[in-house]
Amino acid sequence: MSNTFLGMPTLPVFGSGNLNATEPFPKAAHRELGNAQLRANLGHATHTIRDKRLKVVAELPDWEEMRDAGSAIKNATMAKLPALLEQFEANFTARGGIIHWARDAQEANEIVTGLIRATGETEVVKVKSMATQEIGLNEYLQEQGIAAFETDLAELIVQLDHDKPSHILVPAIHKNRDQIREIFLREMEDVDPGLSNEPARLAEAARRHLRRKFLTAKVAISGANFGLADTGTLTVVESEGNGRMCLTLPETLITVMGIEKLLPLWTDLEVFMQLLPRSSTGERMNPYTSLWTGVTPGDGPQSVHLVMLDNGRTAALADEMGRTALNCIRCSACMNVCPVYERTGGHAYGSTYPGPIGAILSPLMTGIKSEENNSLPYASSLCGACFDACPVKINIPEILVHLRGEDVDSQRARVKVPTQMDLMMKGAEWAFSDGGHLNLLEKGLPLGKLVAGRDKVIKKLPGLAGKWTQSRDIPAPPGQSFRQWWAKEHRAPSGVEAGESAEGDQA
Amino acid sequence: MSAREDILNRIASALRDSPATPEIPRNYRRATTMTAEQRLEQLVDRLRDYKANVFVVPAAGAPAKLAELLAGTASIVVPHRLPEDWLSTLLSVGKDDAGSPAVEVDSPERRLTVAELDAVDAVVTAAAVAVSETGTIMLDGSPSQGRRIISLVPDRHICLLRTADIVEVLPEAIARLDATSPQTWISGPSATSDIELERVEGVHGPRTLDVVILT
């Protein structure tokens, strides 16, 4: 199949699963902001990681060159995705791997369940994977009578606490050491009752808890950080060794990977394995990286499967303004620097993908009209810190603005009667179209002063404008407008033209 | 239509604007600018930063260094093609002598089971290449390094490395490795940053990493 599309264009097919904000972001954020403990934990963690990232990025003289290469490689990947997928498939299959394709979350869950059933097992171990979180695999497997054990420390904490991840890299970022100790004491049957809150002791407790599981597991499920098209190689980047355990010990390995995770060349890994660790955990290199290509006789799992997942990725790809969101390598640098994420945490976004990247990726994959996802592109002050931090230079603020436009357009298409916003915009159009109109309006300023009263602030505006005053006051307007002041100050005294004043010379 | 055809069609339709394939600017560093001594010094520094134990010894001193590191260790596992001179002292002493460990050899003819590997105290392997800038040691499953499982299950990994196999930057290492070999890249002992984003060493992988660099 060539890259040139000759058939009938198909409408974008959106993704399903855990990709939705189920309540509007402002409402969810308001609730989360009320949790002082959460805010303290997040503030501490995001500042720690920011400092670490800046330090290791500053060590490299060619960081910007690396970002340029990373960005170009991902753009090239998307431009020739069909050919690369077929190349990857041929190479992976030639070495004994088996590839399955899944249009959406449901299909992927069914494929994985079928593969597990074929082994006769009812328990699987899992390496942390965003793709399986996105499709809700654990919940689906539970319904099918299959127990999935998360083995990443943070995922384990979240699973034991029956909670949801709040960060793509450190899912338990919202918990501090004392809370983690309490969860372990409450939920781990074999835990030492004298467990302290020291991170090293907590890590040791996790090691003991999972050791037997690793050594006896027959089936493992993983995600993948990169798939290399020219060799058919898969990569998992991790820290603890739980990934190595899952990728090496079991007989059967099932990997779920989004179709956008490819890189054209093995050589491209030299760029991404420098960008990813420094951007995500602020390390020069993560402790462990595993690479495998199909089956290696006598070494590791002998039954190796890969599920290639669409689930809305092709819909994101169809959006010419938004498709670079698929370049994301899930490093989480954007959330760690985001002033909004730092305060609300990940749960406020609803979707598996929180923070700035989630605010664009989720609506791109589900469509702007899905549940409350149209509120996500507004979860930003457009400060641009995410764009500066992104290792593959995704212009997140630009895509946020593009999606706000999509939202407004979709509302307009849906509602026949003009909305308050339409009326306000109409009013603004009239006011700013003519100096005389504006002058007329400005005559009303003293009225605002009157409304503000003695404390000289307006606390509540009516209607839609009331959203502005929900979280801030407006200072009383001045008694006269700038134009009125200017006219008074520059009433030409004899012999001097108004335009020749000192200020006028600067122009 | 199969899911495969369906997805490939969707992609082709999504790309009907035929986006350009950009040239890749590879203006980052792809070769070393350091001397061998500088690379060695950098690697030692970076490995220690990640809490690995590092020993730099002359090549001829490998057996003696191993014997010293393994004093008091009950049992070890080695891949079947670990250079013999590295282990000669240990093997010649034999299993029954007090103070030297029992040596299990993992080979294609006799693959150790998970339970057997779980019972040994340490693993000794070679390495394919190391990157000094990032403090990373790479294993590629060749016979001097063995199957992935043997360097994973024992709680202590002793890795022997030749200075000739130390490169400075990652692209140099990528050029030396074969993508399709099963690889493990190791930067320090197993660690986690999952609790308040502070790095602590020692989770599921070997909790002790000893790197012996042979000059």
Q: What ipTM, to 2 d.p.?
A: 0.96
- Which helix or strand (DSSP H or E) is residue B137 part of? strand B136-139
Rounded to whole angstroms, what are the CA distances from A218 to A137, A246, B144, B149?
18, 9, 27, 14
- CB within 8 Å: B114 and A249: yes
pLDDT (mean) for B188-200: 88
Give the DSSP letter of residue B128: S
Mean pLDDT, chain B, integer: 93
A417 exposure class (CB count in 10 Å sphere: 0-12, 13-18, 19+)? exposed
Chain A residue numbers with beta carbons less than 8 Å from the beta carbon of B184 are 244, 288-291
Q: Which is more confidently placed, B17 or A9?
A: B17
A-B interface: how many C-beta pairs under 8 angstroms?
278
- Residues with Cβ within 8 Å of B71's Cβ and at least 6 positions away in sequence, in order, are B99
pLDDT digits (tens, 9 = 90+) for B48-107: 999 999 999 999 999 999 999 998 899 999 999 998 888 876 666 554 555 678 999 999
- CB within 8 Å: A300 and B147: yes
Do B149 and A299 contact (CB within 8 A), yes or no?
A: yes
Which of A53, A283, A319, A331 should one mutate to test binding to chain B, selecting the residue with the greatest count of B CBs within 10 A? A283
A251 exposure class (CB count in 10 Å sphere: 0-12, 13-18, 19+)? middle
Pairing of strands B156-162, B136-139: unpaired
Instruction: Look up the CATH architecture of domain B33-214.
Output: 3-Layer(aba) Sandwich (3.40)
Chain A residue numbers with beta carbons less than 8 Å from the beta carbon of B118 are 215
User: What confidence score (pLDDT) does residue B99 get?
Assistant: 66
- Which helix or strand (DSSP H or E) is residue A420 part of? helix A420-432
Q: Which residues pair with B123 in a beta bridge?
A: B77, B157
Task: Give exposure, B18-40, as e/b (b: 16+ Cβ within 10 Å).
Answer: ebeeeebebebbeebebeeeebb
- CB within 8 Å: A266 and B174: yes
- What domains, with CATH codes, occur in chain A? 33-315 (3.40.50.10420), 420-500 (no CATH)
pLDDT digits (tens, 9 = 90+) for A337-347: 999 999 999 99
Alpha carbon of B48: minimum distance to chain A alpha carbons (Å)? 13
Alpha carbon of B147: minimum distance to chain A alpha carbons (Å)? 5
pLDDT digits (tens, 9 = 90+) for B128-159: 999 999 999 999 999 999 999 999 999 999 99
- Search chain A and give the residue with CA nearest B5: A101
- CB within 8 Å: A10 and B21: no
Distance of alpha carbon A81 from alpha carbon A429, whole angstroms:
45
Which of A1, A173, A240 comes nearest B190 by C-beta? A240
- Closest CA relative to residue A161, chosen from A20, B200, A150, A169: A150
A68 reaches B (C-beta below 8 A): yes
Which of A42, A236, A285 should one mutate to test binding to chain B, selecting the residue with the greatest count of B CBs within 10 A? A285
For chain A, residues with pLDDT lower than 50 are 1-3, 498-507
- Closest CA relative to residue B201, chosen from A177, A287, A215: A287
Segment 74-93 of chain A within 8 Å of chain B by CB: 75-76, 78-82, 85-86
Which of B8, B50, B194 comes nearest A154 by C-beta? B194
Give the DSSP letter of residue A12: P
Alpha carbon of B188: minimum distance to chain A alpha carbons (Å)? 6
What are the sequence ranges of the domains in chain B? 33-214
Distance of alpha carbon A67 from alpha carbon A72, whole angstroms:
8
Q: Which two tokens stand for residue A363?
A: 């609506």
Distance of alpha carbon B43 from alpha carbon B50, whole angstroms:
11
A191 reaches B (C-beta below 8 A): no
User: What confidence score (pLDDT) does residue A195 get?
Assistant: 95
User: What confidence score (pLDDT) does residue B151 get?
Assistant: 97
User: What confidence score (pLDDT) does residue A411 get?
Assistant: 85
Phi-psi region of B37 (alpha: psi -120 to 50; beta: other; left: phi over 0): alpha
Q: Which two tokens stand for residue A327?
A: 């370049």
User: What confidence score (pLDDT) does residue B47 get?
Assistant: 98
